[in-house]
Structure 1
Amino acid sequence: MSSRWIRKLTQITHKNKIMEVELKLRLPDSAAHQKLSDILSPYHSKTHLQQNLFFDTPSLTLATNHRAALRLRFYDLDSQSILSLKSKPRIVSGISRAEEMEEAVDPALARLCVSEPGQFKVVKESSGILKKVEDEYGVGTDELVCLGGFRNVRFVYNWNGLKLELDETLFDFGVNYEIECESNEPEKAKIMIQDLLNDNGIRFGYSQVSKFAIFRSGKLPEFE
């Protein structure tokens, strides 16, 4: 691997967040998902095809000891990839809060890290996330393995001043349907979206756990 190529691949864009706050409402089935998609179609902005892959030690040090998830997300046939670290998540009545850091990583290098997690040592040269994982959580890049993950089809809508993300998440053990909305006023967004769903006769429930937690459990949660 040439030094010039390494320099190109290790160019990282940082976007650090103190707290990510999202409304997460679960839909019961594909029919509800399709009905909501049809209603929101005039407000459609874009559709993303995502692949989410997670990394930890074989004994799950990050998840078990630190309630943290290290993820590589690939967008739209590897046109973009994002490394993220989420920690200390909690969901109460459908409102999710988690500490989050994000960095854009060259997709070619990110794919190398999937097949050879040892290549994270190259990313670490300019990564605040991997430095945090090592310095605060005591996990070196040489300890990381790929746990696998899931695919997600995300429909994005700009509706009444809100950015709505309608997800169809494909796990090996089933499909989960969810609508998300990141907002500084989650309670207000919650009322607006619940009114939209109720007015159109679409059943919903509050999401109780993250997609990563569902992946780790190996089964879809019961719809309540």
Structure 2
Amino acid sequence: MHIVQCVTYFHLSPLPLHLRTHPRTMEVEVKLRLPTAEAHQRVADLLAANHKVSHLQENVFFDGVNGELSSKKTVLRLRFYGADAHRCVVAVKGKAVIVDGISRVSEEEEEVADAATAHSCLADPQRLFILDSSLINRVAKEFQVQSFACLGGFRNVRNVFHWKDLVLELDETQYPFGTSYEIECETSDAEHARSVLEDFLHQNGIPFSYSTTSKFATFRSGKLPEIP
């Protein structure tokens, strides 16, 4: 799979409003950064018996050519799954607020019926016209976007574990400028989940720090955050 690095422009026309959309929610996650590949592997080894699934993800982001989305602290993302990009999910997210390793961000998602056509938009963004995405259509209308810019993106290898009462996502994120490692846990009780994870990492001598930026913010900065 090829990650788009250049900025490409296209015009969006109205689309049919019939695909299934997940209502906008507030996503709350614990985000703990691991400093090295060795720390990441150590976590994977300790949780191996609880492994459920692995995902190869390709994330590509868009803004309006005049910054219509970014000026409102909003981002549009296409996420593809698998080496063959057999599944695609569109997401619209607000700006993540991360405090003490707990991230809160508004999010709305929609499954794309034709993942192959969606992936072809990386080479020919004007094919977004035929995606039949009510979410993209609504974003264009609400933010008065006449043309979009492709911002590029990054890959993420995500291993999912069901451990205790938590669903853990162990990420290896491959940016154009380096690789970072992180544990994420979406939860309704972030303080409890963070405490459980911190105890687990401390007991096993695994170094970590609180994540301070979202993956998208890291991508846009062009460099990995400094490790405390």
Which consecutive unaligned segments of at least 5 residues does structure 2 have? 1-16
Deviation at 1:11, TM superposition (A): 6.9
Counterparts in 2 of 1:137-152, with a 5 A limit? 137-140=143-146, 143-152=147-156
Runs of 4+ in 1 over 3 A off after TM superposition: none
Indicate yes or no: 2:111 matched with 1:104: yes
RMSD (Å), alpha carbons: 1.7
Amino acid at match of 2:109: E
8 Å CA contact 2:27, 2:107 repeated in 1 = yes
Give the distance between the partners of 1:120 and 1:33, measured in 2 at CA. 36
Indicate yes or no: 2:161 matched with 1:157: yes
Give the distance between the partners of 2:58 and 2:104, measured in 1 at CA. 22
Deviation at 1:126, TM superposition (A): 4.5
Give the distance between the partners of 1:174 and 1:154, measured in 2 at CA. 16
The TM-score with structure 2 as length reference comes to 0.87
| Cα deviation 1:9-61 (Å, max 9, x = unaligned) | x9733212321111110000101000000000010001101100111123433
Give the distance between the partners of 2:143 and 2:95, measured in 1 at CA. 13
Give the distance between the partners of 2:24 and 2:101, measured in 1 at CA. 20
Deviation at 1:111, TM superposition (A): 1.2
Structure 2 match to 1:119: 127
Give the distance between the partners of 1:69 and 1:39, measured in 2 at CA. 35
Match of 2:197 among 193, 197, 200: 193
Question: 1:148 and 1:126, CA in 2 relative to 1: closer, same or farther beyond 3 A?
Answer: closer
Match of 2:42 among 35, 42, 47: 35
8 Å CA contact 2:86, 2:116 repeated in 1 = no
Indicate yes or no: 2:212 matched with 1:208: yes
Question: 1:49 and 1:218, CA in 2 relative to 1: closer, same or farther beyond 3 A?
Answer: same
Structure 1 match to 2:139: 133
8 Å CA contact 2:159, 2:169 repeated in 1 = yes
Deviation at 1:203, TM superposition (A): 0.7
Amino acid at match of 2:124: E
Deviation at 1:62, TM superposition (A): 1.2
Amino acid at match of 1:223: I
Q: How many residues align?
A: 211
Indicate yes or no: 2:25 matched with 1:18: yes
8 Å CA contact 2:34, 2:207 repeated in 1 = yes
Task: Please give the secondary structure, in 1, of the residue aligned with 2:69.
Answer: helix
Task: Please give the secondary structure, in 2, of the residue aligned with 1:31.
Answer: helix
Question: 1:31 and 1:186, CA in 2 relative to 1: closer, same or farther beyond 3 A?
Answer: same
Amino acid at match of 2:61: F
Deviation at 1:113, TM superposition (A): 2.2
Q: Percent identity?
A: 47
Deviation at 1:69, TM superposition (A): 1.1
Question: 1:152 and 1:101, CA in 2 relative to 1: closer, same or farther beyond 3 A?
Answer: same
Match of 2:94 among 87, 90, 93: 87
Task: Please give the secondary structure, in 2, of the residue aligned with 1:61.
Answer: coil
Q: Identify, as 1 or 2, the structure richer in helix.
A: 1
Give the distance between the partners of 1:69 and 1:126, measured in 2 at CA. 16
Give the distance between the partners of 1:98 and 1:214, measured in 2 at CA. 16
Which consecutive unaligned segments of at least 5 residues does structure 1 have? 1-9
Deviation at 1:133, TM superposition (A): 1.5
